[in-house]
Amino acid sequence: MFNESWGVDVPISTPRMMTALVEEALSVGTLVPIFRFNNSHNGLFSIVLSADSPVLGRNPGEIEWPTGVLLTAVMQDGTALAPHLVASLRASDQLLFLFPEQNEEAIAQVGKLLTVTDAADSASAVGGVGSVGVGGTDASETGVEELPVSATQQEPTQVERHGE
């Protein structure tokens, strides 16, 4: 329907964007896919650092990111900053990354760099089974209220991608 005559040269899936925004709002300590750039074969991902992230206090420029992964921005106190302007990472900082398309290994590596790897710590870091929230932080820090989640809602929603 929308084509170049409308000034639209990149198709955008509204349901996919809305799903990504909801996942981003509810996720702390989890990489969330935000957008896929069709022409460059890269995807934009976001993560909000949890209070127990192993990179807290580190300069983002000193962290060795996997090949092809680009930290594009750090949102600190509501301000978007270039990574080289951030002296140290803090809990509740939002990091925006570009990942090469279909590079699950790089996504897993970044996830391991930014989150707690011990299974017991991981369960407490995400609020445990049956809740959405962050153990070790309160709602005022994250802006996310803890809510009960039914068993059918515990897994993240997967969005099918047709025609991309």
- Decide: residue 147, CB within 10 A, 0-12 exposed, 13-18 middle, 19+ buried: exposed
Out of 25-29, 65-69, 85-89, 145-149, pick the least confident.
145-149
Q: What is the structure's pLDDT at 48?
A: 92
Domains and CATH numbers, the chain: 14-135 (3.30.70.1450)
Q: Is-contact 140 157, C-beta < 8 A?
A: no
What DSSP element (H or E) covers 125?
helix 119-125
Lookup: tokens for 149 = 């989640």
Q: Report whether pLDDT(31) > 80.
A: yes
- Residue-wise pLDDT tens digits, 48-69: 999 999 999 999 999 999 999 9
Statement: residue 155 has pLDDT above 50: no
Average pLDDT over residues 42-48: 91
For residue 64, count other CB atoms closer than 10 A to its CB.
7
pLDDT tens sequence across 98-151: 999 878 999 999 999 998 865 444 333 333 333 333 333 344 444 444 444 433
Give the model's pLDDT for residue 96. Answer: 94
Cα end-to-end span (Å), the chain? 15
